[in-house]
């Protein structure tokens, strides 16, 4: 089936990290987009992020200024779902909370045309249960983009119990149009990607809490040892620690297995508002514009790693994967040791238990005197 002919308007719900990236990718491929959130201020912030991402693509010569302008021009904004009456396809990217998503799907069931497809970018919530609150569950499907959406080539598709073949094929067609590669999962908690990834991130938090290694050693070990672009702790910061916690709770609740219990330190960080890149602080500290800079660096590393393996020059990949402070590529960046010191000294960090844990890590990681009061620039 040729989805490029059938699709014209795509509605995106949620102008957060994921919704913004999804809207940008859709508009860049010529689709008209309606981007909706609860408040215009939130949407404006998302459009600002998109604008900066497009400007960087123009500067690097990947797209022309006209392409950037026409991408933005294809995006309309809304603070209600009423305009979704015109949508052929909807991608919901609201927070990872089943009740919020169900309320949205109930409303979508009422306003969208009967032939449209309703997809969710959920990382872990049952597609079958979301579909069950609608009157036409055959048109509901899981469409799980990865962060940062603009550069990560994968979309995980999850077929719910009611999802029709036609819904699946049309969603595959949209993925192709976006230039994404698909992996297909059964509708199980966490699907494939986060069922495997989240317990690893959770275990990295346990290692940090127990002082098994410093955050930088945990990340460096896992990054270089598994040839990954980011270590699990920085990856968790990039995903959002609140999202990671919600997913662990879904896995724990749905499987009823204590092996999925969230690490208490992860819970404490979220309770304390340390949500990762999006709040400026998570395991690590981030300055303004961190999300975009981090996405760019990850892209550069990804591209460099691919090049390096293609020409079989392992040393090139290693140099590019070293922290900037050791390879000397970015003198403005400071090592995560300094970052840990920042957290140790800062007057605004969490409770006594956390301070104690940080002291343990400080000793365990063999840090010397208090480093400069700067966070890592990502």
Ligand X SMILES: NC(=O)c1ccc[n+]([C@@H]2O[C@H](COP(=O)([O-])OP(=O)(O)OC[C@H]3O[C@@H](n4cnc5c(N)ncnc54)[C@H](O)[C@@H]3O)[C@@H](O)[C@H]2O)c1
Question: Where on the chain is the footprint of ligand X (CB under 6 A)?
Answer: 13-19, 36-38, 42, 93-96, 100, 104, 121-123, 144-147, 239-240, 243, 278
CB of residue 192 to ligand X, shortest distance in Å? 13
Q: Which residue is nearest to ligand X (CB)?
A: 16
Q: How far apart are CA 375 and CA 114, in angstroms?
A: 50
Environment class of 105 (CB within 10 Å of its CB; exposed 0-12, middle 13-18, buried 19+) = buried
For 294-307, b/e burial (b = at least 16 CB within 10 A) is: bbbbbbebbebbee
CB of residue 246 to ligand X, shortest distance in Å? 7
Environment class of 322 (CB within 10 Å of its CB; exposed 0-12, middle 13-18, buried 19+) = middle
Environment class of 235 (CB within 10 Å of its CB; exposed 0-12, middle 13-18, buried 19+) = buried
> Going along 125-263, which residue ranges are E strands?
140-145, 154-159, 181-186
Phi, psi for 74 (deg, rounded to 5): -80, -5
CB of residue 356 to ligand X, shortest distance in Å? 30
Q: CB of 81 within 8 A of CB of 108?
A: yes
Q: How far apart are CA 287 and CA 377, in angstroms?
A: 6
- Specify the residue, 65 or 273, whose C-beta has the smaller distance to ligand X: 273
- Specify the residue, 240 or 323, whose C-beta has the smaller distance to ligand X: 240
Q: Which residues partner with 141 through β-bridges?
A: 119
- Specify the residue, 104 or 265, whose C-beta has the smaller distance to ligand X: 104
SS (H, E, C) 302-314: HHHHHHHHHCCCH
- Specify the residue, 90 or 104, whose C-beta has the smaller distance to ligand X: 104
- Specify the residue, 103 or 306, whose C-beta has the smaller distance to ligand X: 103
CB of residue 94 to ligand X, shortest distance in Å? 4
CB of residue 316 to ligand X, shortest distance in Å? 28
CB of residue 370 to ligand X, shortest distance in Å? 33
CB of residue 212 to ligand X, shortest distance in Å? 25
Q: 299: which residues sit within 8 A by CB, 6+ positions away?
A: 148, 151
- Specify the residue, 16 or 160, whose C-beta has the smaller distance to ligand X: 16
- Specify the residue, 213 or 262, whose C-beta has the smaller distance to ligand X: 262
């990681």: which residue's tokens? 365
328's tokens: 């000397």
276's tokens: 């990762």
- Specify the residue, 190 or 213, whose C-beta has the smaller distance to ligand X: 190
CB of residue 61 to ligand X, shortest distance in Å? 28
CA angle 31, 37, 42 (to 5 degrees): 105
In the sheet where 89-92 sits, what is the strand order? 75-78, 32-36, 9-13, 89-92, 117-120, 140-145, 154-159, 181-186
- Specify the residue, 185 or 214, whose C-beta has the smaller distance to ligand X: 185
CB of residue 146 to ligand X, shortest distance in Å? 6
């Amino acid at each position: 089936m040729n989805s490029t002919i059938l699709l014209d308007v795509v509605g995106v719900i949620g102008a957060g990290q994921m919704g913004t990236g999804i809207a940008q990718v859709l508009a860049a491929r010529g689709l008209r987009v309606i981007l909706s959130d609860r408040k215009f201020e939130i949407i404006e912030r998302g459009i600002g992020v998109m604008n900066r991402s497009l400007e960087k693509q123009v500067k690097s010569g990947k797209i022309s200024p006209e392409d950037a302008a026409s991408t933005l021009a294809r995006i309309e904004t809304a603070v209600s779902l009423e305009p979704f009456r015109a949508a052929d396809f909807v991608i919901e990217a609201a927070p990872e909370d089943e009740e919020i998503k169900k309320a949205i799907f109930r409303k979508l069931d009422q306003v969208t045309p009967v032939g449209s497809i309703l997809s969710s970018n959920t990382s872990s919530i049952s597609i079958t249960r979301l579909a069950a609150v609608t009157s036409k569950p055959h048109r509901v499907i899981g469409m799980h983009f990865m962060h940062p959406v603009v550069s990560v080539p994968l979309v995980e598709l999850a077929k719910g119990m009611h999802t029709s073949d036609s819904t699946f094929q049309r969603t595959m067609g949209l993925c192709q149009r976006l230039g994404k590669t698909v992996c297909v999962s059964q509708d199980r908690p966490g699907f494939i990607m986060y069922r495997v990834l989240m317990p690893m991130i959770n275990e990295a938090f346990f290692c940090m809490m127990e002082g098994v290694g410093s955050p930088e050693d945990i990340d460096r070990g896992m990054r270089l040892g598994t040839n990954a672009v980011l270590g699990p702790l920085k990856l968790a910061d990039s995903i959002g620690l609140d999202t990671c916690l919600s997913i662990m709770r879904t896995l724990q609740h749905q499987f009823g297995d204590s092996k999925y219990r969230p690490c208490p330190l992860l819970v404490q960080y979220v309770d304390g508002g340390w949500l990762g890149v999006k709040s400026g602080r998570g395991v690590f500290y981030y300055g303004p514009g961190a999300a975009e800079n981090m996405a760019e660096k990850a892209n550069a590393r990804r591209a460099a790693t691919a090049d390096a393996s293609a020409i079989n020059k392992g040393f090139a990949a290693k140099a590019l994967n070293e922290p900037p402070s050791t390879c000397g590529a970015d003198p403005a960046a400071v090592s995560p040791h300094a970052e840990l010191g920042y957290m140790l000294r800062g007057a605004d960090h969490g409770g006594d238990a956390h301070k104690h844990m940080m002291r343990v890590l400080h000793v365990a990681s063999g840090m010397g005197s208090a480093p400069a009061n700067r966070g890592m620039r990502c």
